[in-house]
Amino acid sequence: MSLIAKNLSVTYGTGSGRELVALDDINFEIARGEFVTIIGPSGCGKSTLLHCLGGMLKPSSGVVTLDEEPIRGPDARRAAFVFQDYTLLPWRQVLQNAVLGLRFDGVPKAKANAKGEEMLALVGLSDFREAYPRELSGGMQQRVAIARAMCMEPGILLMDEPFGALDEQTRRQLGFEMARMLSERDSTVVMVTHSLDEAIMWADRILVMSARPGRIAKEIRVTAPRPRTHDYIATEEFAALRSELFTLLDQDNVSDLAESVDR
Amino acid sequence: MSAPAVATQSLSRKASRNPTGQRPPRRSAVIALRVGACVLFFGGWLYLQGPGDMSPVILPNLEKVFLELGRFLTTGQVYQAALVTLGEILGALAIAATLGFAVGFWGARKNLRSGVLEPLLIWGYLVPTILFYPLFLLWLGFGTSSKIGYAAVSAFFPIAYNCLRAYQRVEPRYIQVGRAFGASARQLDWQIKFRGGLPLAAAGLKLGAAQAIVSVIVAEMLASSQGLGFLIQLYAQSFRIPSLYAIIVIVLVVVGILHVAVKLLLREDAPVEAR
């Protein structure tokens, strides 16, 4: 089982008749149970790539396959999203938000709710099943968004800067918890982030993207076993990876790198 | 990198809770001020009718107004009139809400439709529909139908216009979530778009309700033989000023009841699961 992106390109026509190449010939493969993070300068097409992987956006050329079946449109049972910011439906209670995909899919209420309760317990929000999203903090809302995706038991979980809107402390805490939970369940995850620490902490592999056109500039493997503890931050490996990423993401270096890929 | 985004987020959330940074007023202070306003109002009235020497045609004797009100409330004639008026308002509102929602929701689905509809609806909103009331009298007669028809048309425009705006502007994030989690076209329509646009559509319904109330009462005043508007016109023409004031009080109560009803109907967070 694996997700394969093959010759993926996305081109937008702009108003002035020029073409904007958002993604240019992206190729990679993700194995079952692997945790991959995608990092790159803003505007490099990270989110565009993730949307292509989940079938929310049709690539201009190339193909995404999951278990050798091409992805042609959104299907949360195969690839479920955790979006950036607050995407819970404000008029639905927490449990009803969590079971959204199951209910759309026609799963009977009782069965869907049981699954929803299970996933809410997993993210530690059982007590809030009847709360409305606005009664929850940002971090709690994102937990629900994760439960909503996990309810679908997806082949792959696609996370688009899931904690981007949270403060550093909450973000780190939630990150550790969720990363452990996902590792224990052996979930396959692709996560877009703009945080160096997040990209390293969670990942088996980091895809570093370059901007305009968006390309995979480099792949970095993180060999330390997952789930990792806070202690990992203090290791030399972490420091070395961090400084490597930092240098890579310096705008000039990324474009240099892209050019060298060009040739 | 993420720090500025976090800062604005938390700032804007706080700001939305308490825009001026003031503490909420004490309940006792609010009540005291309300009582004070009542005392001032009725005290002013008593002063004007006594030492102020105001003409009773402009300001009738307060006691007489209350006596009239008491008489109305015990004889029952006014209940029948109130029922007629309330029925006309609700009938008009039901028609206007159904058509307005249908037009707004349908129109918002395609840019071409909304492009054509929006200016028409604004125009209909701005035109004084009272101009067309004589036509309604010709078409539907002197009875309740002409009031319902006329008020339905006046209430239709604010409702349709606001529904159109509401369903053009449903938060794209919610639609994205719907798509990502496999909503069918129908589920997307009813469980995401309909609910997402509801707050603004409800605001339109409130405006429509206000419009329907005014239209029905004015229509009754202009040409009818029943309803509260008719009584207002009757007592004004026959110079029965205390009765006129008493009817106005009753109209205010009816409007208040309607207002509360609409508010309850459109209670925020009512867990609606449309099918």
A99 pLDDT higher than 80: yes
Averaged pLDDT, A16-32: 84
How far does Cα A198 stand from its chain's mean position?
A: 11
Mutate to test the interface with B, among A71, A89, A96 (most CBs of B within 10 A): A89
Structure pTM?
0.76
Pairing, β A156-160 against β A79-82:
parallel
Averaged pLDDT, B102-122: 89
- Check if the beta carbon of residue B94 is closer than 8 Å to that of residue B261: no
Cross-chain residue pair B2–A104, CB shorter than 8 Å: no
Q: Which of A75, A86, A195 sits opposite B2 (nearest CB)?
A: A195
Averaged pLDDT, A64-80: 87
* Cβ atoms within 10 Å, residue A215: 24
Q: Which comes out higher in pLDDT, residue B20 or B179?
A: B179
Name the interface residues of A facing B (CB cutoff 8 Å).
54, 56, 74-77, 80-81, 83, 85-87, 89, 91-93, 96, 100-101, 104-105, 132, 138, 148, 152, 164-168, 171, 194-195
Averaged pLDDT, A237-260: 74
Cross-chain residue pair A75–B182, CB shorter than 8 Å: yes
Q: What is the pLDDT of residue A38?
A: 92
Report which DSSP code applies to A84.
S
Q: What is the pLDDT of residue B198?
A: 87
Question: A101 contacts in B (CB within 8 Å)?
Answer: 181-182
Q: What is the pLDDT of residue B275?
A: 26
Question: B6 contacts in A (CB within 8 Å)?
Answer: 165-168
Beta partners for residue A4, in sequence order = A29, A65
Q: What's the CA dihedral at B177, B182, B188, B193 to 10 degrees? A: -10
Averaged pLDDT, B157-168: 92
- Check if the beta carbon of residue B256 is closer than 8 Å to that of residue B82: no
Cross-chain residue pair B271–A92, CB shorter than 8 Å: yes
Type of residue numbered A98: A
Averaged pLDDT, B108-131: 88
The whole-angstrom separation of Cα A36 and Cα A205 is: 5
As a whole number, the mean pLDDT across chain A is 85
Helices (H), A123-210: 138-150, 168-184, 196-202
Residue B216 three-state SS = helix
A210 pLDDT higher than 90: no
Q: What is the pLDDT of residue B102?
A: 93
B5 pLDDT higher than 50: no
Cα Rg for chain A, rounded, in angstroms?
19
Q: What is the pLDDT of residue B235?
A: 92
Question: B177 contacts in A (CB within 8 Å)?
Answer: 81, 83, 87, 89, 100
**Rounded (10°) angle between helices B195-222 and B228-237:** 30
Q: What is the pLDDT of residues B203-253, one digit of tens each?
A: 888 889 989 999 999 999 998 889 999 999 999 999 889 999 999 999 998
* Confidence band, pLDDT 50/70/90 cuts, at residue A165: confident
Residue of A nearest to B7 (CA): A167
Q: What is the pLDDT of residue B13?
A: 43
B12 touches chain A (CB under 8 A): no
Cα Rg for chain B, rounded, in angstroms?
24
CB-defined contacts A:B, below 8 A = 74
Mark residue A21 as left, alpha or beta (left: phi above 0; alpha: psi -120 to 50; beta: remaining).
Answer: beta
Which residue, A191, A119, A113, A180, is CA-closest to A151? A119
Averaged pLDDT, A217-238: 86
Q: What is the pLDDT of residue B9?
A: 40
Mutate to test the interface with B, among A48, A77, A100 (most CBs of B within 10 A): A100
B185 touches chain A (CB under 8 A): no
B166 touches chain A (CB under 8 A): no
Question: A86 contacts in B (CB within 8 Å)?
Answer: 173
Which secondary structure element, helix H or strand E, spans residue A22, and what is its range?
A: strand A19-31
B4 pLDDT higher than 80: no
Residue of B nearest to A196 (CA): B1
Two tokens at B165?
Answer: 């705006």
B8 pLDDT higher than 60: no
Q: Which of A76, A93, A168 sits opposite B181 (nearest CB)?
A: A76
Cross-chain residue pair B180–A105, CB shorter than 8 Å: no
Residue of A nearest to B197 (CA): A91
Q: Which of A54, A165, A171 sits opposite B180 (nearest CB)?
A: A54
The alpha-carbon gap from B181 to the nearest alpha carbon of chain A, in Å, equals: 5
B104 pLDDT higher than 50: yes
* Confidence band, pLDDT 50/70/90 cuts, at residue A43: confident
Question: A83 contacts in B (CB within 8 Å)?
Answer: 173, 176-177, 180
Two tokens at A130?
Answer: 């009847």
**Structural domains in chain A?**
2-78+179-262 (3.40.50.300), 79-153 (no CATH)
Averaged pLDDT, B19-29: 79
Q: What is the pLDDT of residues B46-62, one digit of tens each?
A: 898 888 888 888 888 88
Backbone angles phi, psi at A159, to 5 degrees: -115, 125
As a whole number, the mean pLDDT across chain B is 85
Which residue, A39, A31, A77, A35, is CA-closest to A180? A35
Q: What is the pLDDT of residue A89?
A: 92
Q: What is the pLDDT of residue A191?
A: 93
Averaged pLDDT, B8-26: 57
- Check if the beta carbon of residue A20 is closer than 8 Å to that of residue A11: yes
Type of residue numbered A43: G
Mark residue A70 as left, alpha or beta (left: phi above 0; alpha: psi -120 to 50; beta: remaining).
Answer: beta
A103 pLDDT higher than 60: yes
Ranges of each domain in chain B: 22-54, 62-265
B263 pLDDT higher than 70: yes
* Percentage of residues in chain A having pLDDT higher than 90: 21
Averaged pLDDT, A241-254: 78
Q: Which fold has domain B62-265?
A: MetI-like fold (1.10.3720)
Which residue, B120, B145, B146, B115, is CA-closest to B133? B146
Cross-chain residue pair A195–B182, CB shorter than 8 Å: no
Which residue, B60, B142, B7, B206, is CA-closest to A167? B7
